Amino acid sequence: MNPTKRFNMIGDFKEMQVVDNVTELEIVNLSFIPRFGVKGAGAEAWLATQSIAVPDLPNSWTFLSKGGIIARLGTNEFLIEDRTIAPQLIKACKSPPAKVYPVLSQDLAIALIGLQVNELLLQTCNFNFQSLSITENPVILTLMAGVNVTIIPGVLQEQPFYRIWCDGTFGAYLWETLNVIASELNGGAIGNVTLL
């Protein structure tokens, strides 16, 4: 690993280090990063009282001021992923105001990186990710191998990079399925220590 090679990427990893030789397709489990979900007609206003700026458009995301992300899922639902802010919001929402409903987030959170990411997506999704403009920060809600997922596409080290979340009850199935396909594409799982 080259300690001087750094990059900005989607999520809580503004200072991540990456191995110099990413294979054709890498999968990493990022479930250890705290997440907080909130929804309801009062959710956006409540987040504003917590000094959290939200994306203007449904199904889009933006960086938080300290490096995590906030995704707007539809009109009144939000997913926040960050090591500092998410735990603070969990505490702040113990007694939520009217029309604000915390959403339990026990998702599998993974990242895909490498030149073969699109090939894996073609085999597992019916959504055409190549049609997206990643500069618009889209959030895609779709099926992957028959499992409901939330996906944020991006680029990392000039290679496709996708963040994916799914319900934890389907996590082992999705992880195993993606690893089988990744191995067929000359890739596989790497530990989060490799990326951090």
Strand partners, 63: 69
Output the pLDDT for position 193.
Answer: 45
Same domain, 51 and 17: no
Same domain, 96 and 130: no
Output the pLDDT for position 157.
Answer: 78
Confirm whether 117 is domain-assigned: yes
Token pair of 94 as six digits: 């113990």
Query: How many structural domains does the chain have?
Result: 2
Confirm whether 118 is domain-assigned: yes
Output the pLDDT for position 158.
Answer: 85
Output the pLDDT for position 102.
Answer: 96
Give the domain CATH number at 42. Answer: 3.30.70
Output the pLDDT for position 15.
Answer: 36
Same domain, 28 and 39: no
Q: Are 171 and 180 in contact (CB under 8 A)?
A: no
| DSSP 8-state symbol, 138 | B
Cα–Cα distance between 132 and 104 in angstroms, integer? 29
Same domain, 84 and 39: yes
Same domain, 166 and 180: yes
Same domain, 134 and 168: yes
Q: What is the pTM of this model?
A: 0.84
Same domain, 115 and 26: yes
Output the pLDDT for position 23.
Answer: 67
Over residues 112-140, the pLDDT tens digits come to: 999 999 999 999 999 999 999 999 999 99
Same domain, 189 and 112: yes
Over residues 62-74, the pLDDT tens digits come to: 999 888 899 999 9
Query: Taking each helix axis from N to C terminus, what angle separates 171-184 and 117-124, rounded to the nearest 10 degrees?
Result: 120
Q: Are 70 and 61 in contact (CB under 8 A)?
A: yes
Kind plus residue range of the DSSP H or E element containing 115 = none
Q: Which domain holds residue 26?
A: 6-32+106-195
Same domain, 152 and 166: yes
Token pair of 173 as six digits: 């199935």
User: How many other CB atoms are there within 10 angstroms of residue 23's CB atom?
Assistant: 16
Strand ranges inside 5-128, DSSP E: 6-7, 16-17, 26-29, 35-39, 60-63, 69-72, 77-81, 101-103, 107-113
Confirm whether 1 is domain-assigned: no
| Low-confidence stretches of the chain (pLDDT beneath 70) | 1-23, 192-196
